[in-house]
C-alpha cells in the first residue's frame, strides 16, 4: 500500500532557497525508526499530522493560529515542501515539522502508536475513474492504520470536493470498529473553523462545487 504517485516539479527560487535554509531546521529525514515528538519539537504538546499538505498554505495557517499544538506535515511534492517551508519562515511558525516521503511508510515505521491527537487528509486524489477507485488512499487498511496512531479521543478529519469519494470515505470509516462519527446526522460535519478555506476551495465554491468534511473520533 502506497499513498502517492511520486511527482517531481520545477522549484521556484523561493522554494529552492527555503529548502536550502529551512529544511535543516524544520525538515525531518526518513529513517525506519520511531520519532520522539517531544524531542523533534523541543516540547510536549498535542501532535496534529497532515498527510499531503500540497503547498502548505492551510498547514502553516493552522500552525500559526494554534501555537498550543505541534504540526507535522508529510508531502511528496518537493515544490510543495519548499513552498510550505518558505511560508513557515515568513510566518515564524516554529511549531511545524515536515517530511518529503511516502506517508504510508512514515506511518508504519516512524509514527508511534497512540501518539497523534488529530490526522488531517484534505482533498486527496479522488481517482475519478471507476477502475482507479482502488487507488484511493482511504481504504479499510489505511483507516485501521490511522486508528492505531491516534490517541484515544483523537480525530481523523477528512475533506473532499468529490461527492462519490465523500460517500466512499463515509462507508469505509463507518465499517471500522472503534471510530465514532462526530456528525450529528451520521454522515458529514460542517467545515470546522480549524480548517482554513483554501484558494482552491474558494474557486470550487464559485463554480458550484460542494465540499464534504468527515470527522471520526477514536473511542477505544
- Segment 57-61 shows an average pLDDT of 95
Among residues 125, 177, 187, 213, which one is catalytic? 125
CA–CA dist 60, 84 (Å, integer): 7
Contact between 1 and 141 under an 8 Å Cβ cutoff? The reply is yes
At residue 135, the pLDDT reads: 77
Q: Is 36 designated active site?
A: no
Q: Residues annotated as binding site for S-adenosyl-L-methionine?
A: 50, 75, 102, 125
pLDDT at 132 exceeding the cut of 60: no
Confidence of residue 189 (pLDDT cuts 50, 70, 90): very high
Neighbour-count burial for 98-122, b at 16+ CB within 10 Å, e otherwise: bbbbbbbbbbeebbeeebbbbbbbb
CA–CA dist 121, 137 (Å, integer): 10
Residues in the chain: 220
Q: Residues annotated as binding site for substrate?
A: 129, 161, 198-201
List, edge to edge, every strand of the sheet that includes 212-218: 96-99, 70-74, 47-51, 116-122, 150-160, 212-218, 179-181
Report the range of poorest mean pLDDT among 72-86, 112-126, 129-143: 129-143
Which of 121, 85, 119, 95 lies closest to 12 in space, CA to CA? 85
Q: Within a 10 A sphere around the Cβ of 11, how many other Cβ atoms? A: 16
pLDDT at 72 exceeding the cut of 50: yes
- Segment 20-26 shows an average pLDDT of 96
CA angle 16, 21, 23 (to 5 degrees): 85
At residue 207, the pLDDT reads: 84
Which of 196, 156, 149, 201 lies closest to 174 in space, CA to CA? 156
Each residue's pLDDT tens digit, 192-220: 999 999 877 888 788 888 999 999 999 99
pLDDT at 35 exceeding the cut of 90: yes
Using DSSP's 3-state secondary structure scheme, residue 43 falls into coil
Domains of the chain (ranges, CATH numbers): 13-218 (3.40.50.150)
Segment holding 178, helix H or strand E? none
Amino acid at each position: 500500500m502506497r499513498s502517492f504517485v511520486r511527482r517531481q516539479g520545477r522549484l521556484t527560487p523561493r522554494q529552492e532557497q527555503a529548502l536550502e535554509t529551512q529544511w535543516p531546521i524544520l525538515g525531518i529525514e526518513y529513517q525506519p525508526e520511531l520519532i520522539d515528538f517531544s524531542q523533534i519539537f523541543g516540547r510536549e504538546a498535542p501532535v496534529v499530522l497532515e498527510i499531503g499538505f500540497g503547498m502548505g498554505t492551510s498547514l502553516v495557517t493552522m500552525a500559526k493560529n494554534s501555537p498550543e499544538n505541534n504540526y507535522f506535515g508529510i508531502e511528496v511534492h518537493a515544490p510543495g515542501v519548499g513552498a510550505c517551508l518558505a511560508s513557515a519562515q515568513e510566518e515564524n511558525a516554529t511549531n511545524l515539522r515536515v517530511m518529503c516521503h511516502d506517508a504510508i511508510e512514515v506511518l508504519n515505521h516512524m509514527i508511534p502508536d497512540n501518539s497523534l491527537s488529530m490526522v488531517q487528509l484534505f482533498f486527496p486524489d479522488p481517482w475519478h475513474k471507476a477502475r482507479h477507485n482502488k487507488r484511493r488512499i482511504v481504504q479499510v487498511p489505511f483507516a485501521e492504520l490511522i486508528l492505531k496512531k491516534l490517541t484515544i479521543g483523537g480525530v481523523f478529519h477528512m475533506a473532499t470536493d468529490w461527492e462519490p469519494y465523500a460517500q466512499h470515505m463515509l462507508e469505509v470509516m463507518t465499517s471500522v470498529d472503534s471510530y465514532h462519527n462526530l456528525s450529528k446526522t451520521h454522515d458529514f460535519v460542517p467545515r470546522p473553523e480549524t480548517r482554513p478555506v483554501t484558494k482552491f476551495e474558494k474557486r470550487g465554491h464559485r463554480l458550484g462545487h460542494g465540499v464534504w468534511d468527515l470527522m471520526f473520533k477514536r473511542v477505544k
